[in-house]
Amino acid sequence: MFHHALPNKTVIIGAGGHAKVIVDILRSDPHVELIGCIGRDPHAKVLGLPVIGGDDILPELLEQGIHHAFVAIGDNAKRHALSLHLENLGFELINAISPRAYLASHVTLGKGVAVMPGSVIEPDTRIGSYTIINTGATVDHDGNIGIACHIAPGCHLSGNVTVGDESFLGTGVSVIDGMHIGEGCMIGAGATVIRPIPSYSLAVGVPATVKRTLLIEKERGGRHN
């Protein structure tokens, strides 16, 4: 006799616009039962899903048997830190993969990954944990997208493109085949990347040109995770 597993009770961390898209995606997943959002406004709702409290109630949720979570925060560094915090508390981070996205064979996903409607991920591509592949973005074959990246709506990455941890590619960025974008980068909307971009760079324009170095690495004293 077969027993169907009950859906995983899941809490959403965040209650803004990004959380709306995640709630909409996860409602189509029969393995997920959404119990509420974590946010600052206790009277707010996200597509009808209530905000049930702030970060302080997370240990209590674990005690109540809610062991699954999704961090729906747009900022890469904050999402990265919160995801690690949730995992340290004992939560298991799930993925939010739209049924209207196309994932080819041999795509490798980390945990806490969001893949939005209309996006395409081609074979032998790796998507790191806590990364967002946003609406209509495409990542071609043999891509390597790092941890806690955000590939914004309408981005198009050709084959063999590498993007380092916590980098943000703005709306409509195009990247030619074989390019390497370092970690902690910000690529402005509509830019076209035709040469490698070093880590911690702000690059804009067509072709994408480095305008300045972002001082994140100095402020943090480097990363070890």
Instruction: Say how many residues make up the chain.
Output: 225
Q: Per-residue pLDDT averaged across 41-68, rounded?
A: 95
Q: Is pLDDT above 60 for 84? A: yes
Rounded CA-CA distance 213/225 in Å is 22
Number of domains comprising the chain: 2
pLDDT of amino acid 1: 42
In a domain, 163, yes or no: yes
Q: Per-residue pLDDT averaged across 132-156, rounded?
A: 98
Confirm if 80 and 88 have CB atoms less than 8 A apart: no
- Which of these three, 94, 126, 154, is where a domain ends? 94
**Residue 85: which CATH number?**
3.40.50.20
> Do 112 and 172 sit in the same domain of this protein?
yes
pLDDT of amino acid 4: 52
> Do 117 and 170 sit in the same domain of this protein?
yes
> Do 87 and 19 sit in the same domain of this protein?
yes
Rounded CA-CA distance 4/62 in Å is 23
Residue 9 pairs in a beta bridge with 33
pLDDT of amino acid 221: 47
Q: pLDDT (tens digit, 9 = 90+) per residue, 201-217?
A: 999 999 999 999 997 55
Confirm if 149 and 131 have CB atoms less than 8 A apart: yes
| DSSP calls for 13-54 | E--SHHHHHHHHHHTT-TTEEEEEEE-S-TT-EETTEEEEE-
In a domain, 223, yes or no: no
**Enclosing domain of residue 117:** 97-207
Q: Is pLDDT above 90 for 121? A: yes
Work out the percent of the chain whose per-residue pLDDT is above 90.
Answer: 91
Q: What is the mean pLDDT of the chain?
A: 93
In a domain, 215, yes or no: no
> Do 52 and 75 sit in the same domain of this protein?
yes
pLDDT band at residue 6 under the 50/70/90 scheme: confident
Q: What share of the chain is helix, strand, coil (3-state, %, to 5)?
A: 15, 30, 50
In a domain, 126, yes or no: yes
> Do 107 and 56 sit in the same domain of this protein?
no
Q: pLDDT (tens digit, 9 = 90+) per residue, 169-208?
A: 999 999 999 999 999 999 999 999 999 999 999 999 999 9
In a domain, 169, yes or no: yes
User: Rounded to two decimals, what is the model's pTM?
Assistant: 0.93
- Which of these three, 59, 79, 94, is where a domain ends? 94
Q: Is pLDDT above 50 for 32? A: yes
> Do 203 and 103 sit in the same domain of this protein?
yes
> Do 115 and 188 sit in the same domain of this protein?
yes
Q: Is pLDDT above 90 for 106? A: yes
Q: Per-residue pLDDT averaged across 100-105, rounded?
A: 97
Region of residue 26 (left: phi > 0; alpha: psi -120 to 50; beta: else): alpha
In a domain, 3, yes or no: no
In a domain, 88, yes or no: yes
> Do 145 and 160 sit in the same domain of this protein?
yes
pLDDT of amino acid 22: 98
Q: Is pLDDT above 60 for 45? A: yes
> Do 86 and 113 sit in the same domain of this protein?
no
pLDDT of amino acid 42: 86
Q: Is pLDDT above 90 for 219? A: no
**Residue 132: which CATH number?**
2.160.10.10
Q: Is pLDDT above 90 for 148? A: yes
Confirm if 139 and 115 have CB atoms less than 8 A apart: no
pLDDT band at residue 97 under the 50/70/90 scheme: very high
> Do 180 and 111 sit in the same domain of this protein?
yes
> Do 139 and 57 sit in the same domain of this protein?
no
> Do 75 and 108 sit in the same domain of this protein?
no
- Which of these three, 36, 63, 94, is where a domain ends? 94
In a domain, 1, yes or no: no
Q: Per-residue pLDDT averaged across 101-121, rounded?
A: 98
pLDDT of amino acid 216: 54
Selection from 114, 160, 122, 161 nearest residue 138 by Cα: 122
